[in-house]
Structure 1
Amino acid sequence: SVISKWVLFQLGPVLSVGLPKYVEELLIHSFRLPPFLVKKDYQRLYDFFYESSGFVLDEAEKLGISREEACHNLLFATCFNSFGGIKILFPNMLKWIARAGVKLHTELAQEIRSAIRSNGGKLTMAAMEQMPLMKSVVYEGLRIEPPVPLQFGKAKKDLLIQSHDAVFEVKEGEMLFGFQPFATKDPKIFERSEEFVPDRFVGDDGERLLKHVLWSNGPETEDPTLANKQCAGKDFVVLVSRLLVVNLFRRYDSFEIVVGKSPLGAAVTVTSLKRASF
């Protein structure tokens, strides 16, 4: 609860708590939320990380980073990037897979269990590479509902942004705002762009579409670098999402859910689970 409270304050400018839009704009989107409301909670988290991360902080000092700065970054990466991100990502992933129905569940269970059996009954990275449908399902979940759909940034130089049918001039210093679903649901790129298509990224043609999957603030086919703003945890997010799907269908044939509203992502309640029968 301490972490959730702090994460909610970080996301205040884009949160929706179910109030009328004009009320939310006035109350939580138009000014900075008072830091003192979470200061004590943050200090508790900081003290815990500082006392528990001796080895990591020692390594930071060897690299010229102060223990205090390293601790703040470690806290942010763990509580905001990892916990906060997964709190949004996992429920959304379960939502789309559940809605796809029993046919997909059966296909996933067959593929996942077969690949594990062919690798000596062990779940390995090599085994997961033999699960094209599972990998496609994860990418499709990230495409249709990116966990962080909004991006902001200032132009570092004059540039032109080109769409399919227009060109937009941007001046240095201008603030840019990006809403990812405009691109990831582009009907000129993706057929049935508004639908969850589990096998969209299977095969050579499907893999060629991965460059248009932008959830990490960059193409899925590229890697984060010091020179770009792509998510440093990109590969980790894909890995844990795959593990979620694999471990779910190792144990269960199918499941059903009820989806409710939540300030972050979806509130998912699992209502039934059918244990593995083969």
Structure 2
Amino acid sequence: MRQVPGSYGPPLLKTLFDTVDFLVVSGWEEFFARRRRRHGSTVFRVNLFKPTVAVLDQTGIGALFGDADLIQDYGFGWAVPPLPLVGGVPPSIFGSGEAHDGPKRLYLRLLARRAERLEAVFAETFAEVAARWRAAPGFSFADGIEDLVATFVGRWLIGAALDPADIRLVYNHIFTQRLTAVTQWLPWSNYARSRLAYGRLLAAVRGAPDFPEIAAMAAEEGLPDPEVVAKQLTFLIGMNSFLGLQNLLKSLVGEFALHPAWQEEVRREAAAQAGRGATPVLDRVIRETLRLHPPVFFVFGRATRDRVLDTESGSFAIRRGELVMGVIPFAQNDPAHVPRPERFDPDRFLDPATGGRPLIWPRGLETATVAARDRTCPGKDAAFATARLFCTALLRDHAWSLAAPPAWDRHRFSLNVAAPKGSLTVERFVRKEQTG
């Protein structure tokens, strides 16, 4: 057993140094890469906002979604949403025990009940949005995808479209609100406007046609208070569903724009399959996009006892109370397991030696069967199915091009860092039969 390399102190100075280095000087990618080189280890101590053990390999990260004695704090480690933006009810994703498991049982039941209508609701929503895209002389794919996702998820889960502008305002900034004791009194501030938008979203969830059915299901799972259920659902739609799904769809657009040959491969497959189900080429493209650009970057757990963490760099002593942070992009781009990890190569998944390791983009293994007690995203399979529907509709029926090649931010961290930078301006979007 090894001691974790690195240091947490001196407390204030080291916190300031590491946080500024992460946010401004080195940026998120080089921050972790430099320390991995310095310590010769995928596990090391940092003082990023607070003392943290960083883990950069898949074996070590597995404990964070598989071990009951690494529990979730309120917030994602050091990213804490203001309580007024979650209705004063800590979202279940931050809970442990029944505070986490009860709502997750509800989500799993809800997803199972909504599964049969996913394709129809997505097709209806995409048709409406695509008509607007075709009519526009040019538009932002980034904004368009956010509008598509916000509208689709609300319709699918609760039977009501939520305002994309309100979802964008609240959840794109939910972890970056600062000086809220002051900004709450400034009507023009982002925080004050977000609080108003949250109230509108919560009211829309409460008033949705499907909410009485969901509240009845929740009561059967030990969640008798409809107000609490509405607040949990609002966070589920805005944070878990909207942010993750729109990041994935933007990244797919970006990779297709950079690799037109893969566009044609997917188009040919879609035409040949004609709705018969299997999409092996498209599935490899989606998996490679998730490998390179996982929508979730970090997964956290706080140790409830002294324990040993087994990793690819050895076994390390973790003390009771220590915060452990898994850095997913590094685990999925490790050249020891993924040859030429920077290259977009969906065919790597055809070779078990280079593509056989399951991805961990949904805060758990992509191949796992989700259970209420684990940390794996309950909507991971629905997200993958939605990505299939999006790519098929986009490429089979439309031709499009971006005004400039997309690029991903390897420096500045944000909630949208998994997606390409900027607006993704579209200069052409037409029906396929118009291309000739």
Please indicate the TM-score interval, normalised by the length of the shorter structure: 0.7 to 0.9
Partner of 2:265: 107
Runs of 5+ in structure 2 lacking a partner? Answer: 1-164, 185-190
Separation (CA, whole Å) in 1 of partners of 2:428 and 2:200: 38
Range with bigger deviation, 55-64 or 148-157: 55-64
Alignment of 1:36-55 (within 5 A): 37=192, 38-52=194-208, 53-55=211-213
TM-score computed with the length of structure 1 as normaliser: 0.79
Give the Cα–Cα distance (whole angstroms) in 2 for the partners of residues 33 and 112 of structure 1.
54
Q: Could you tell me which residue of structure 1 aligns to residue 170 of structure 2?
A: 6
Q: 203, 213, 218: which one pairs with 2:364?
A: 218
> Runs of 5+ in structure 1 lacking a partner?
14-27, 117-122
**How many percent identity over aligned positions?**
24
Distance 1:32 1:108 in 2: 51
TM-score by length of 2: 0.52
CA contact (8 A) 2:170 2:198 kept: yes
Counterpart of 2:18 in structure 1 is: none
In the alignment, the residues of structure 2 paired with residue 195 and residue 261 of structure 1 have an alpha-carbon distance, to the nearest angstrom, of 14
Shift of 1:82: 1.7
**Residue 222 of structure 2 is aligned to residue 73 of structure 1:** no
Give the aligned length. 250
Q: Does 1:248 align with 2:394?
A: yes
C-alpha contact 1:224 1:230 (8 A) present in aligned 2? yes
In the TM superposition, what whole-angstrom CA distance separates every residue of 1:39-58 from its partner, at most 9, and x where no partner exists?
22211111121122222223
Residues 84-126 of structure 1: per-residue CA shift (max 9 Å, x gap): 22232211121112112x222211111111011xxxxxx2xxx
The answer to whether 1:92 aligns with 2:251 is yes
Contact residue 106 and residue 254 of structure 1 kept, 8 A:
no
1:219–1:240 CA distance, 2 compared to 1 (3 A): same
Please state if 1:128 is matched with 2:291.
no
Taking a change above 3 Å as real, the CA distance of residues 128 and 205 of structure 1, as seen in their structure-2 partners, is farther
Q: How far 1:232 sits from its partner (Å)?
A: 1.3
Look up the match of 1:155: 303
Is 1:98–1:257's contact at 8 Å kept on the other side of the alignment? no
Greater relative contact order structure (CA < 8 Å, 6+ sep)? 2
More displaced 10-residue stretch of structure 1: 256-265 or 218-227: 256-265
Task: Name the CA distance, whole Å, in 2 between partners of 1:206 and 1:190.
Answer: 6
Q: Write out per-residue CA displacement over residues 131-186 of structure 1, whole angstroms, 9 at most, x where no aligned residue.
A: 21100000111110111112222123433334434332212321011211110001
Query: 1:242 deviation in Å?
Result: 1.1
Q: Which SS does the other structure have where 2:348 is aligned?
A: coil
> Aligned letter for 1:85?
G
Q: Aligned AA for 1:133?
A: V
- 2:427 aligns with 271
| 1:193-232 equivalence runs, <5 A | 193-202=341-350, 208-209=356-357, 211=358, 213-232=359-378
What aligned pairs does 1:131-146 form with structure 2 within 5 A after superposition?
131-146=279-294
Partner SS, residue 10 of structure 1: coil
When residues 33 and 181 of structure 1 are mapped into structure 2, their CA distance, relative to the original with a 3 A threshold, is: farther
Q: Is residue 224–residue 232 contact of structure 1 (8 Å, CA) maintained in 2? A: yes
For 1:142 and 1:260, the matched residues in 2 are separated by: 16
